[in-house]
Amino acid sequence: MTWTDQLDTCSCVLLRLGERRFALAADQVAELAAPSRVFRFAHRTPEIDGVILRRGRVVPVCDIAEQLTGRKLAQRRFYLIATRHQQDGRDWVALPVSGECELIQADLTPAGPSDSPHVSAWLSHQGEVIEVLNLYAVTPGSPDPGDARLAPPALPEVHV
């Protein structure tokens, strides 16, 4: 299959970061959570704002708005809890979003070689063309995002 081929219809979650909307493959989304206390401790990963406690699990908060829109979120209305497949299991990341999220079904067009690494595919929804995010490229501590782009967004089987 070439990059210009259409993928099958895929479930995606639309998320809002400021004025822009992005999408994430639904199977990479665990839940949408209300804002909660952010715990901070010393570290050197600038993309991480802190951690939240969710169902007894410590989940790092990564504000991806700045790298995608150029500015940090002024208001965090929810945390979209996303999951990444790592070498040693599943890893959770909390993405602050500025509005409610929407689950949709859409046909995806895979990203092309000229697209940014953070784009794994494109979808069209209500007349708007929306980037489907490569979670591995927008969050720190991921395997090589270049490898992740080759995988369909719904099944990001990426291993170190």
Is 17 a binder of another protein (CB under 8 A)? no
Q: Is 35 in the site for another protein (CB under 8 A)?
A: no
Contacting another protein (CB under 8 A), which of 35, 117, 141, 152? 141
Angle, CA of 55, 156 and 51, to the nearest 5°: 30
Q: Tell which phi-psi region holds residue 135, choosing left (phi > 0), alpha (psi between -120 and 50) or beta.
A: alpha
Pick between residue 107 and residue 144 the one whose CB is nearest to another protein: 144
Residue 92 makes contact with another protein by CB under 8 A = yes
Considering only 1, 34, 42, 74, the residue that binds another protein (CB under 8 A) is 42
Distance CA 27, CA 92 (A): 12
Site string for another protein, 43-82 (x = CB under 8 A): xxx-xx--x-x--xxxxx-x--------------------
Q: Is 91 in the site for another protein (CB under 8 A)?
A: yes
CA angle 23, 145, 123 (to 5 degrees): 25
132: left (phi over 0), alpha (psi -120 to 50) or beta: beta
Amino acid at 24: L
Residues in touch with another protein (CB under 8 A): 39, 41-45, 47-48, 51, 53, 56-60, 62, 84, 86, 91-93, 139-142
